[in-house]
Structure 1
């Protein structure tokens, strides 16, 4: 891999600072490699390209499109889009796709999320490494050798088709709800009016203006400090619930009527139960850091729970293998078979709204049966040798059940923990769950003492 590509090619996508790490030359070279990888070069097909609201996104998206067209592929531009809108376009049009976004990363960053036709993911082991290898020599060629685009370029307005698709999958009927939505100045500001604006809801918007500088707070609801304004607005307006989206709007977090955060594992269990009503006996995926409540509830409702590693490309592949109808991650990603196996924060939000509108209860009461245990949340520790720490923990808990599906998971009847290495930083990520707060806190502190020794 070219030295310029090593900092930006990640496990699941391309991401880096603009322009010192990711510039138009790299984007164009990767566009050329993408066209070859997905088989649309030399006039054999087309790809869809979307972009988020970052200041660098038009230039990066244009460079990617030029690269695809330089190989003879045709490009369909859908312009401003959430990542799940790009996946929807890839599925509806049955063409490969490139989404230009750095998700919740800082404003100076940008990146590429890639998929084959039908929104099938491209990660490091499923095409991205090959793309980086193919793009590497292109970065050293003489500018005179850079080919001119020959493929066609067309623009397509896709927002309404996206809204139609989601509302058809999760219709919301029943009582009228009051909802506060925090878009964090990200792409939910583009998609929320198109989708929720079609429903009989009272929507109170926070930071719906598209602004890639993120002037109000980071568009990263996994960091609960970014939810403070949403929580306050829910309480101030007496809203039924609040929704927060990340920068590219493929993740959604929920807060209840009190402003308390609803764990994504709880949302996973709720949406899984709704799918099992429609398809008894269906398979439901949950990753290694989801609450133990998820597989318990899936089994109790007659479904088949399947545990997976963390990461969207791995989960989508497992959905295809198992025929799973739904999958959830504790990071706020939710995957739907009917949505081309892709993740959609908006579709998850519609399921929550639909479940609540069908009742006369509150979000906190609705979620109570799906939340059973005490969780630590993800705790990151910077370590010099992640493998050595994992082995030390494995020895420390040698008398307990362990597995290595993703990092190290240690399990007992009363608690479990998972420790796994970051794909991009020298970090270990710890998640602990216990039967009660005291149990969780005891195990958390024990494990952290070993990790940080």
Structure 2
């Protein structure tokens, strides 16, 4: 046995670090040995917490990336070697796995890289009661592993792997959740296109829409993985939606990201809604009293005046969930959260169509936000949008943007006190943004200007890239400001910089 290596040491050795609620990295770095080690560290930590013991079940599932079956096999082997019983739930949406594991009070893990390209993948971990949060990472990182030498080749591949167990159905309960909540006639008369690409929930989403009475047309199915990012929609996907909508045959077009926990919703014209705007509409539909969202989301949330309490957090679902838990403790009757990518988190139970209660699901969900907006009996998508304050957000990224460049940029932006930081924002961006008035350091550097423009720069936690979020009174203004802001960064740092 090769004993004495901690998860933290394994991270350094392989370069696969923690991202949102789990591990994520290049497929070549995520060897069977590395994935086995991460799974063992996760379960060892839960054993300390009294949430896993030999003989206990652990639910596993994955997305449709080519590397996912291999990684699932390594995770299943780690579960067995620790005396656990892997429960294979198939290739299903992340929230479907979470719904099952929470109901069964068992740990679970989802093999997915979400929206990032197929040359990367990840493992997202769930405790029996909810997502692994940032407060859990230190406990997982210090776990000491025993990786059997004879189990892996020199390259870190399993010498032999067993077949995954027969599939345990979790999609049925997940679909029924929404059929019960909305009622089988909720979408009667609606014509909806489903952009399937390579989303793991592509067929289930169509099935739910049909079950609610919609007329469904399947669009753009792909047997190779397509990295659809709901927060930075590809120009190709913008064009596709508009082409499909040109015939006037759809009331809406819907889709999700790769693991189907982040939604995409387009109106009858094929215009994709921003996820942070979709979140506001959904929170209003359920009558939320407390709404939690990251600092990068559209400020139309507060400007709308529809919600008693609005909380802002760092970017990432663990931060949103932690704040939602705090809101629940205040006694707020309906608590929800959402992210700029559109993922919607339900913190409390809500009443369904027949008077029954739909249970809370405090993890990102793509189906609920899509259905909430589509089933509004009083207003179309366009009418719902028109009732919101006119604030528009846009996001883009610089990639590759090595960690050294990110450190250099933020060392510069954060130099001095708050007055100096605000003055620097005016110096850098004032030629198109006007005078900077305030700066928010919740996550990255977010500056608000006298013109109403917002520029938010943040290094990605999952990839070597720089994210830029902008907000303005017009869609064009937000888009143009984003390009100008990134142009300033390029001029500052990238002209003579190495690309690796």
TM-score by length of 2: 0.78
Aligned-residue offset at 1:427: 3.4
Do the aligned partners of 1:88 and 1:339 also contact (CA within 8 Å) in 2?
no
Q: 293, 297, 303: which one pairs with 1:296?
A: 303
**1:93 correspondence with 2:104:** yes
Aligned-residue offset at 1:412: 4.4
Alpha-carbon distance in structure 2 between the residues aligned to 1:193 and 1:50: 20
Alpha-carbon distance in structure 2 between the residues aligned to 1:437 and 1:199: 33
Matches within 5 A, 1:229-378: 229-236=240-247, 238-276=249-287, 282-297=289-304, 300-323=305-328, 325-337=335-347, 338-355=359-376, 358-359=377-378, 362-370=380-388, 372-378=390-396
Alpha-carbon distance in structure 1 between the residues aligned to 2:97 and 2:389: 32
Tell me the SS of whatever aligns to 2:197.
Answer: coil
Alpha-carbon distance in structure 2 between the residues aligned to 1:343 and 1:441: 27
Alpha-carbon distance in structure 2 between the residues aligned to 1:53 and 1:169: 28
Aligned-residue offset at 1:179: 0.5
- CA separation of 1:387 and 1:157: change in aligned 2, threshold 3 A: same
Q: Considering only aligned residues, what root-mean-square deviation do their CA atoms show, in Å?
A: 3.0
Aligned-residue offset at 1:426: 4.5
Tell me the SS of whatever aligns to 1:127.
Answer: helix
2:433 is aligned to none
Instruction: Deviation per CA, 1:218-261: give whole Å up to 9, x if none.
Output: 33343232423233112235200111211111111111111112
- CA separation of 1:44 and 1:38: change in aligned 2, threshold 3 A: farther
Alpha-carbon distance in structure 2 between the residues aligned to 1:304 and 1:439: 29
Do the aligned partners of 1:288 and 1:418 also contact (CA within 8 Å) in 2?
no
Q: 224, 234, 238: which one pairs with 1:224?
A: 234
2:191 is aligned to 178
**1:406 correspondence with 2:443:** yes
TM-score by length of 1: 0.86
2:497 is aligned to none
Tell me the SS of whatever aligns to 1:376.
Answer: strand
Matches within 5 A, 1:96-135: 96-118=107-129, 120-123=130-133, 125-134=134-143
1:156 is aligned to 168
Do the aligned partners of 2:188 and 2:212 also contact (CA within 8 Å) in 1?
no
Tell me the SS of whatever aligns to 2:246.
Answer: helix
Aligned-residue offset at 1:273: 1.0
Do the aligned partners of 2:182 and 2:212 also contact (CA within 8 Å) in 1?
no
Aligned-residue offset at 1:285: 1.1
- CA separation of 1:379 and 1:67: change in aligned 2, threshold 3 A: closer
**1:390 correspondence with 2:413:** yes
Alpha-carbon distance in structure 1 between the residues aligned to 2:483 and 2:206: 44
1:421 is aligned to 459
Alpha-carbon distance in structure 1 between the residues aligned to 2:246 and 2:477: 31
2:489 is aligned to 451
Q: Which 5+ residue runs of structure 1 have no aligned equivalent?
A: none
Tell me the matched-pair count. 434
Do the aligned partners of 1:284 and 1:325 also contact (CA within 8 Å) in 2?
yes
Alpha-carbon distance in structure 2 between the residues aligned to 1:144 and 1:379: 41
Aligned-residue offset at 1:445: 6.2
Do the aligned partners of 2:311 and 2:323 also contact (CA within 8 Å) in 1?
no
**1:34 correspondence with 2:45:** no
